Structures are given as C-alpha cells and as structure tokens.
Amino acid sequence: MVSVWKELRYLFKRFVLIANVLPALLGFIMAARYYNISFGNYWLDFMLLLAGSTLLVAGALTLNNWLEADVDKLMERTKQRPTVTGSISLRAILILGISLSLVGQLLLLFINIEVAILGFIGWYTYVVVYTVWTKRRVTWNTHIGSLSGAVTPMMGWAVVGSAFHAIPLTLFAIMFLWQMPHTYAIAIRKYDDYARSGLKMLPVVRGYQITIRRNVIYMALLLFIPLFLTGFSNLFYILISLLNLGWLAIGMAGFKAHSIKKWANLLFASSLIYLLAVYLLYIVFVP
C-alpha cells in the first residue's frame, strides 16, 4: 500500500492537486459568508465539491501524465512518475484518468449544472487545449493552463450562488494573472529540463528578459482587479494594494538580478505567499 500510494502521489502531482482543489473550497467558504448561509444546509454539497473536484483534477493530472509520457522521461523533475518508470502500465493510467474524470464530473453534477460546467471547462482546457493542442506548439500555452486553474474559486462559489458575481470573477482574474509569473518562475528554475523536453515555455523560447518583462505586466495588472469590487472596507483595498505592490517589486527586481535562478526561486516562493494572502483577505473582509 505504501508503494502504491507513493506512485499515486507522483501520478496525481499532489501539490498541484491541492493547489487546484483548495481554491474551490475557499470559494465555497466566501460564498457561504457572503450569503450568510448555514453550513448544515450545505454540508452534503460541500462534501460533493471536495470529492468531485479532487477526483476531476486528479483525473486531469493523470491524463496529462499519460499524454506527456514521452517528454517526462527527458526531465529530471518528472523521471519518478509511473509513466516513466513503468511501475504502472500506460493503459492502466489511461483508464484511471478517464475513470477519475468521469466520476468527479458526475459528483459535481449532483451539486448543480453550473458547478459541473465550470468543472468541465477547467478539465477540458487543461487536458485538451493546454496539454494536447498548445503546450508543444506555442509559448502562450501557459495562458490556456491558467484558465483551467482560474475557474476553481468560481466552482466553489457556484455551489451557493451564481459564479457570475464580482467576487468570484475577480478571483478568476487574479488567479489567471497570478499563474503566469508562478509558472514562468518554475520554467526558469527548471530551464534545462524544459529545454531538453522541447515544450514551448516562454523562458526557453524567448529568453529571460522577455519573460521578466511579461511577468511585470501581469503583476501590474493585478493592481487594477480590486477596483471592480464594491462593498469591501477601505482597509481591504489598502492591504491588497500593498500586497500587489510588494509582489510587483519582487517581479521588477528580476531586471537587475545577479542570479536569475535565485530571483526565480524568490518569485516562486513569494507567489505562494501572495495567493494565500489574497484568499485570506477575501475571506476576512467579504461583505
């Protein structure tokens, strides 16, 4: 069992799995606070969201591994995946990925159609548009991958109310813009891996300076997202503006960094702190 669990951790990319499911749960918590609903009335929907989103994301990640088995063997960071080691057959991985995806989608459908549609959009953009169509062809593949991750807080909100609301929509925009610097930081840190794999990551294809410039643009755009929110306290706007300015300063430091790899490590670590802080601010100050 220990061996099986170890293989599944690599197959499901456990940290990526958590990073995609957690925003959905936090989106639910925000909606519950905003609409002042009783958790007791929604506990079953919450459990369906937890199980459904976990299985759907795990299925998408499993299919991503199956589709990229040929390039994963070229990279140090992915050489322990079962698709590379052969500890689990590719056929079994394909069946597992499809099964997890179908069961996860079905569980989300039990909540409501909006949650299910948002879940499918995330799954489809990641597995088909990102992995199959763009990742090996164009540098803007990261934008497609960001779309799939950005719908997760909308899924959580849609359990309680329509996701076409300023709060989940601004979270969608924040997560979309946030994922570019976050992903490019990983691509810089693992530059040699991506260069060997042939995947069209921006730092490999266009170089560091263009990547840093793009990062600064995306991070600067984050400053304007809170302007689309109403009803929050002045303290919220002050704190989130300071947070955005602080992260932008880290992004701009890349232009004069003596070591691009060290700067990328800082950008990656700060991106995790930034996103956690954003969610905490939203939850604490939600009207």
Which residue ranges does the chain devote to CATH 1.20.120?
165-287
For the chain, the average pLDDT equals 95
pTM confidence score: 0.95
CA distances from 170 to 36, 79, 173, 244, 249 (A): 20, 37, 5, 14, 22
- pLDDT string in tens for the chain (287-residue length): 556 677 878 888 888 999 999 999 999 999 999 999 999 999 999 999 999 999 999 999 999 999 999 999 999 888 889 999 998 999 999 999 999 999 999 999 999 999 999 999 999 999 999 999 999 999 999 999 999 999 999 999 999 999 999 999 999 999 999 999 999 999 999 999 999 988 999 999 999 999 999 999 999 999 999 999 999 999 999 999 999 999 999 999 999 999 999 999 999 999 999 999 999 999 999 99
Q: Domain 1-124 has what CATH class?
A: mainly alpha
Top CATH class of 165-287 equals: mainly alpha
Q: What's the per-residue H, E or C state across 220-240?
A: HHHHHHHHHCCCCCHHHHHHH
Q: Say how far apart CA 90 and CA 70 lie, in whole Å.
A: 11
- 3-state class (DSSP) for residue 1: coil
User: What is the CA 1 to chain-centroid distance, rounded?
Assistant: 29
Which residues of the chain form CATH 1.10.357?
1-124
Q: Using alpha carbons, select from 185, 216, 219, 218 the residue that is nearest to residue 202.
A: 185
Secondary structure element (H or E) that encloses residue 196, with its range: helix 191-197
